[in-house]
Amino acid sequence: MSSLAQALPEDGAFLPAHYLSLLIVDDERWIRESCKEVAENMGFKVFTADTAATAAKQLESHTIDVVLLDIKLPGPDGLELLLKIKQQQPETEVIMITGHATVDSVLTAMKSGAYDYLRKPFNIEELKLLLERVTEHMRFSLENRITREHLKNNPGYGGIVGRSPEMEKLYRIIAKVASSRHPVLVQGESGTGKEMVARAIHFTGPFRDKPFIPVDCGSLVPTLIESELFGYVKGAFTDAIRPKEGLLSIANGGTLFLDEIGEMPVDLQAKLLRALQEKEIRPVGSTKPTPIDVRIIAATSRDLEIAIHQGSFRRDLYFRLNVVSLRLPPVRERKEDIRLLVDHFLERLSRSTGARRSISTEAMKLMLAYDWPGNVRELENCLERAAALSSGHVLNICDLPPQIQNSSLQSISVSTTASRHRIVPLADMEKQAILAALNQLNGDKLMTAKLLGIGKTTLYRKLKEYGITDRWGVSTVEEAPRNG
């Protein structure tokens, strides 16, 4: 495993370049020192070697992410060392350096697994640009490897948790579209897991080894989205001191995930549509088209048909993206999955904290009764918060957020005041409150008493007083305590 992979946190967040190690192999001291200075200023941890034998020892002693390797070396040459590196450490990226580049030597190096090559003499900007490119490439590659492992080791289809009929239907559609290259539009409320579905489509399909590049259209500054997607050439604008590869180009052969596509400016929608139709892009400031082969998966929490009528989304782009449409059900429509989701997130918390976590029966009943307007994201946040506040390993009602603790009482209040326009006897309101609580809590009398703020003995007395028949098959009169 590379040093970058060892340092990456569990959530897969990208890290700065100082987690990358670089080995410079060249028999000319001034080249080694010059490259070392540039790389260290960029944040790399740098090692150097003047021969292939010395480099081999460095590779055995240290975890190396990137190698700058001269083709011509005393003794075994760079091409021999390249083959050895790719056999023993295939994840290490190698950039060849040559002052005598021939077509044959360059082709041999690239076929043997070299990432790219630098021709001597090269300047600092060329070296920096190439190191930036290989760093970005390694980060995307690493995220893809981690995501594949995550999807492999998690319950549900492709890492998505759920066994409700709605989710089973979703899995069948994902399985069908994963093997194709058709555009997919994923629709669902915020927090339902649209990016997870996009990742499942990509990483369970035949192009899983190609890049998966997520873009949050809602968080990017409108003036920067174009250069992020299409890239730009040197001199395209004042700050363009070097060219930048766009995400559509980086994702070539793989998948570009456009999250919250409904937030994309209308003028950029037209450029994206043209790129998808023509299968080529023009970086900002360039007149030369670059061919692309990218699968687009778009997601939105907005109703795009309404956005079309309002003029904020292009109809032609909508039809281009909506070849296959997936709808993610909100948690309130698949409440049978809540227990699975709770178990999944508690298991993850247990692994990350080293402390086994579980949830009490009473707290789970409240979780099942709550509507989860923030969906899976809110549920995960709720459990993380409860775990942080809990004084023990079992999460109880008092550890849950106030809105969940109060949700049952609020629904009872709504049901008992639905006829506020007419005067209702207090006894009738009390009876309706008890019935509503019992119905919502599936007959759990202890929980009903707690939520209503009365003692268990008082509850049994009220049940007997109002003649409430227990529809769960237990006689409330017979259950009542003898001293009640």
Which amino acid does the sequence have at 475? S
Paired sense of beta strands 21-25 and 45-49, if any: parallel
Comparing CA positions, the residue from 263, 262, 224 lying closest to residue 246 is: 224
Comparing CA positions, the residue from 143, 172, 328 lying closest to residue 254 is: 143
Instruction: State pLDDT tens for residues 163-219.
Output: 888 998 898 888 889 888 999 999 999 999 999 999 999 998 888 889 999 999 888
Instruction: Write down the pLDDT at residue 3.
Output: 43
Instruction: Write down the pLDDT at residue 149.
Output: 60
Paired sense of beta strands 290-291 and 280-281, if any: antiparallel
What is the pTM assigned to this prediction?
Answer: 0.61
For the record, the structure tokens of 57 come out as: 């020892």
Beta-bridge partner residues of 284: 232
Instruction: State pLDDT tens for residues 255-287.
Output: 999 999 999 999 899 999 999 999 999 888 888
Instruction: Write down the pLDDT at residue 7.
Output: 38
Q: Is the dihedral of CA 462, 468, 473, 475 positive or negative?
A: positive
Instruction: Write down the pLDDT at residue 176.
Output: 87
Instruction: Write down the pLDDT at residue 14.
Output: 38
Instruction: Write down the pLDDT at residue 195.
Output: 93
Q: Can you give the pLDDT of all 484 residues of the chain as single tens digits?
A: 444 444 333 333 334 444 689 999 999 999 999 999 999 998 899 999 999 999 999 998 888 889 999 988 888 888 899 999 998 888 899 999 887 656 677 778 888 888 888 888 888 888 998 998 888 888 777 766 665 565 555 556 667 898 888 998 898 888 889 888 999 999 999 999 999 999 999 998 888 889 999 999 888 777 778 888 998 888 777 777 788 888 999 999 999 999 999 999 998 999 999 999 999 998 888 888 889 999 999 999 999 999 999 999 999 999 999 999 999 999 999 999 999 999 999 998 888 888 889 999 989 989 998 999 999 999 999 999 999 888 888 999 888 988 888 775 555 444 444 444 455 566 767 777 787 777 767 777 877 777 777 777 888 888 887 777 655 444 444 344 444 4
For the record, the structure tokens of 41 come out as: 């200023």
Instruction: Write down the pLDDT at residue 436.
Output: 76
Instruction: Write down the pLDDT at residue 238.
Output: 74
Beta-bridge partner residues of 212: 255
Instruction: Write down the pLDDT at residue 419.
Output: 45
Instruction: Write down the pLDDT at residue 339.
Output: 93
